[in-house]
């Protein structure tokens, strides 16, 4: 059942990403042309962010396609970690875009406030029209990706890309309105700086989540002590040690532990039943589908050479 759910989920992810790529790719051309015609660095910055969106979406789609491949003798957990690699690429792209946009905006501000007083002229109306159309395109792509962004770190990276661009479009609209109403062209690079300031924190959060998976840390929403206590409440279990919890990708936690049991469990042939109970406990209460238990007679931990928790 879980296997079928994974396949359908990956298929849905690929469809969502394909639709979003079509939307973003189509509008990117419009936004670049509009930025060049209006002379707006904020619009070009937003176009650069949208270009990073497109690259990120293509990377995410590739990762989703690879992640759907079945496990092999070499890749025993399958290829689902490619979703994490896709999110890593997206996070790096977001950081690069944020820094590039910030440098460009500062350069424009310094140039506009230069000694000769030559202020870069921005055409507010074309900038406003393109930004409004861009906002609509971003909202459409965001709604497409939103469906499974909570469960897939790969899709979440793509969703954050588009969400950031949506906020960027709003800032460009505000800057265009200020330019049209007041003629204050500095609103354009200031909007670009605001876009960069919004992109960077989300990129760092995404990279933090990626590193948590790649370093095989326990998932943020997993309480290892609570799991251990829950297992100790199973009849026949005496002690639980050498507990490890990590994730193959977001939403796919893996658990292993050494479980000391009452000698009666082995004597009565209940080891298999106990394993089913322990696995069911993790699946039902902690949503852990992959769990491995080493059953040991009570007191066995003292004879092991490695340190256990």
What does the DSSP assignment read for the chain? -HHHHHHHHHHHHHHHHHHHHHHHHHHHHHHHHHHHHHT-HHHHHHHHHHHHHHHHHHHHHHHHHHHTSPP-SSSTTTTTTHHHHHHHHHHHHHHHHHHHHHHHHHHHHHHHTSTT--PPP--HHHHHHHHHHHHHHHHHHHHHHHTTTTT-HHHHHHHHHHHHHHHHHHHHHHHHHHHHHH--TTHHHHHHHHHHHHHHHHHHHHHHHHHHHHTTPPPTT--HHHHHHHHHTSTTEEEEEEEEEEESSTT-EEEEEEEEE-HHHHHTT-HHHHHHHHHHHHHHHH---EEEEEEEETTGGGG-SS---
Residue range(s) in the chain whose domain bears CATH number 3.30.70.1350: 224-303
Q: What is the CATH class of 2-214?
A: mainly alpha
Residue extent(s) of CATH 1.20.1510.10 domains in the chain = 2-214
Q: What global pTM score does this model have?
A: 0.71
Cβ atoms of residues 105 and 41 within 8 Å:
yes
Please report, in tens digits, the pLDDT of each residue of the chain (309 residues total).
444 445 566 677 788 888 888 888 888 887 788 777 777 766 776 777 677 778 778 877 887 788 778 878 787 777 878 878 888 887 888 888 888 888 888 887 776 655 454 555 667 787 788 888 888 888 888 888 876 666 667 677 778 778 877 887 888 888 888 888 888 878 888 888 888 888 788 788 889 988 988 888 888 878 888 888 889 988 889 999 889 998 887 778 889 999 999 988 888 888 889 999 898 888 888 878 788 899 988 876 655 554 444
The residue written with tokens 């359908």 in the block is 8
Q: Left, alpha or beta for 299 (phi > 0: left; psi -120 to 50: alpha)?
A: left
SS3 annotation, 185-210: CCHHHHHHHHHHHHHHHHHHHHHHHH
Dist. CA 152–CA 270, nearest whole Å: 38
Q: What is the C-alpha end-to-end distance of the chain, expressed in Å?
A: 33
**pLDDT for position 259:** 92
Contact in structure between 45 and 211 (CB atoms under 8 Å) = no
C-alpha distances (whole Å) from 152 to each of 20, 40, 110, 166 are: 16, 35, 42, 20
Fold type of domain 224-303: Alpha-Beta Plaits (3.30.70)
Q: Identify the pLDDT of residue 261.
A: 92
């Amino acid at each position: 059942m879980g296997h079928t759910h994974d396949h359908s989920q990956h298929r849905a992810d690929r469809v969502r990403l394909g639709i979003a790529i079509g939307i973003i790719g189509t509008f990117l051309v419009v936004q670049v042309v509009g930025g060049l015609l209006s002379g707006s660095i904020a619009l070009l910055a937003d176009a650069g962010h949208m270009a990073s969106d497109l690259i990120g979406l293509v990377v995410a789609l590739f990762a989703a396609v690879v992640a759907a491949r079945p496990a092999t003798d070499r890749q025993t957990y399958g290829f689902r970690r490619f979703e994490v690699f896709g999110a890593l690429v997206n996070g790096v792209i977001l950081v690069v875009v944020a820094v590039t946009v910030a440098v460009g905006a500062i350069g424009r501000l310094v140039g506009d406030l230069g000694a000769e007083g030559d202020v870069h002229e921005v055409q507010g109306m074309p900038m406003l029209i393109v930004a409004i159309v861009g906002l609509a395109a971003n909202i459409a792509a965001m709604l497409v990706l939103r469906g499974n962004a909570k469960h897939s770190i790969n899709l979440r990276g793509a969703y954050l890309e588009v969400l950031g661009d949506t906020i960027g479009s709003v800032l460009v609209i505000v800057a265009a309105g200020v330019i049209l109403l007041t003629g204050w062209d500095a609103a354009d690079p200031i909007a670009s700086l605001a876009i960069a300031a919004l992109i960077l924190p989300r990129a760092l959060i995404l990279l933090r989540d990626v590193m948590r998976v790649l370093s095989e840390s326990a998932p943020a929403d997993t309480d290892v002590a609570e799991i251990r206590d829950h297992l100790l409440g199973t009849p026949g279990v005496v002690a639980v040690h050498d507990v490890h919890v990590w994730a193959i990708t977001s939403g796919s936690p893996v658990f292993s532990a050494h479980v000391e049991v009452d000698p009666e469990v082995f004597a009565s042939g209940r080891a298999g039943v106990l394993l089913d109970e322990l696995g069911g406990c993790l699946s039902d209460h902690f949503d852990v589908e992959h769990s491995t238990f080493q059953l040991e007679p009570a007191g066995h931990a003292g004879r092991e050479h490695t340190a256990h928790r």
